[in-house]
Amino acid sequence: MSIALFRIDDRLIHGQVVVGWGQSLGIGFIVLVDDEVRASDWEQELYRMGVPADVTVIFASVDEGIAQLAAWQADPRRGIVLTGDIAAMARLAEGSHGVDAVNVGGIHFRDGRRERVRYVYLSDEEAAALARLGERGVEVAAQDVPTGRKVPLAELVR
Amino acid sequence: MSEQPLVGVVLAHEAIANAFVAAVNAITGEAEGLLPVSNAGCDRAAIEDRLARAVAGRPAVIFTDLPGGSCAFGAAAYARSHPEVAVVTGVNLAMLLDFAFHRTGTPAEARERALATGRGAIAAPGAPGRAAG
């Protein structure tokens, strides 16, 4: 499988993704599936600057992600597909085939959210959305870095 | 040229910013214009909120660590809508020490000075064929 990691991370492309996971997995491309960034040339330029020259960055809307996922899966390089929130990853998973595991990498504090692990805060609605992904057969777990403990869905939603 | 002294904000991962500011203070006693901001526990919006509180509308230079990190992205996004703010990545102690004594001029001028000072401090003392920095 070409997509080595489907990750939800509200910091989008950043050190843990590029260095932590990117180095560990030996990735050749990162797909950022985010409607807002897809519509912003300057944000795309910004995120490109943060990625090594030998790693391709692809920006896609959620709809484009649904349409393109099969092609990314067929890429001979390994890649990471990244969304900034649960809703975008859920739409991607529901609208396509191949999202069999989701890594919850970072969802930080906001009003209405409760700490589940140090780097994951969820509202009840967000926890329910993750649970629905799990019910669809997607393996959902939190793990900030490759050497961190993989926290199962049950611990995130209780 | 800005009338008031520039503010320096060190925006970095976890505890790095506090450590940098503490080091500048220990070496120079001149850390008054340098503020630490950590990205710990922050999403992108929260990083920009912390930055806004630290800058507080003053002309400033933001010193961040990893070029491809959330701090650098947050700083760049903030600076885009705040023309009196300049951003430097790859912060090191040498550029902060120099900044502590050169807080006049525009943020852009201070940024260029920080880049030159910071790059000049990267050396390989003792390596064959290389002069110590």
- Average pLDDT (B9-30) is 95
Interface contact flag, A14 B77, Cβ < 8 Å? no
Query: Which chain A positions have a beta carbon within 8 Å of B64's beta carbon?
Result: none
**pLDDT above 60 (res B29):** yes
B90-127 tens-digit pLDDT: 999 999 999 999 999 999 999 999 999 999 999 998 88
Scanning every residue of chain B, which has its alpha carbon at the shortest distance from the alpha carbon of A117?
A: B41
What is the least distance, in Å, from the CA of A74 to any CA of chain B?
27
Q: Quote the CA–CA distance of A130 and B55 in Å, as a whole number.
A: 37
Mean pLDDT is lowest, of A45-54, B16-25, B109-118, for A45-54
* Res. B60: pLDDT tops 90: yes
Question: Does residue A85 sit at the B interface (CB-CB below 8 Å)?
Answer: no
- The residue assigned the tokens 């969802």 is A107
Q: Amino acid identity of B101?
A: F
**Is 50 exceeded by the pLDDT of residue B2?**
no
Q: Locate all alpha helices (DSSP H) within chain A, ordered by sequence.
A: 15, 22-25, 35-38, 41-49, 62-73, 86-95, 124-135, 153-157
pLDDT for B132 equals 53
pLDDT for A83: 98
Name the β-bridge partners of B61: B8, B86
Min distance B64 CA to chain A CA atoms (Å): 13
- Predicted confidence band at B1 (pLDDT cuts at 50, 70, 90)? very low
Please report, for chain B, the start and end positions of each structural domain, with discontinuous segments joined by +: 7-120
Distance of alpha carbon A135 from alpha carbon B132, whole angstroms: 61
Chain B CB contacts of A47 under 8 Å are: 73
User: What are the boundaries of each domain within chain A?
Assistant: 3-157
User: What is the rounded average pLDDT of the residues A45-56?
Assistant: 91
At B131, the pLDDT band (50, 70, 90 cuts) reads low
* pLDDT at B44 (0 to 100): 87
Task: Count Cα atoms within 13 angstroms, Cβ side, for B69.
Answer: 24
Contacts of B44 in chain A (CB under 8 A): 10-12
Compute the distance between CA of residue B123 and CA of residue A3 in angstroms, rounded to an integer. 39
CA distance A65 to A63: 5
User: How confident is the model over A115-146, as pLDDT tens digits?
Assistant: 999 999 999 999 999 999 999 999 999 999 99
Q: A21-45, pLDDT tens digit by residue?
A: 999 999 999 999 999 999 999 999 9
Residue A14 annotated as catalytic: yes
What share of chain B in percent tops pLDDT 90? Answer: 84
Nearest CA in chain B to A43: B77
Return the pLDDT at B129. Answer: 72
Dist CA A142 CA A70 (whole Å): 25
Q: Domain A3-157 carries which CATH code? A: 3.40.35.10
Catalytic residue (choose from A10, A11, A14, A132): A14
Residues of A in contact with B69 (CB under 8 A): 14-15, 50
Q: Is A110 on the interface with B (CB under 8 A)?
A: yes
Residues B123 and B117: their CA atoms lie apart, in Å, by 12
Res. A64: pLDDT tops 80? yes
Beta bridge partners of B8: B34, B61
- What's the CATH code, domain B7-120? 3.40.50.510
Of B46, B68, B80, the CB nearest to A14: B68
The DSSP code for A64 is H
Residue A22, exposed/middle/buried by CB under 10 A (0-12, 13-18, 19+)?
Answer: buried
pTM: 0.86
Nearest chain A alpha carbon to B69: A14
pLDDT tens digits, B63-97? 999 988 999 999 999 999 999 999 999 999 999 99
Instruction: Look at A19 and B129; give whichever has higher pLDDT.
Output: A19
Q: What's the CA gap between A122 and A141, in Å, rounded?
A: 13
pLDDT at B57 over 60: yes
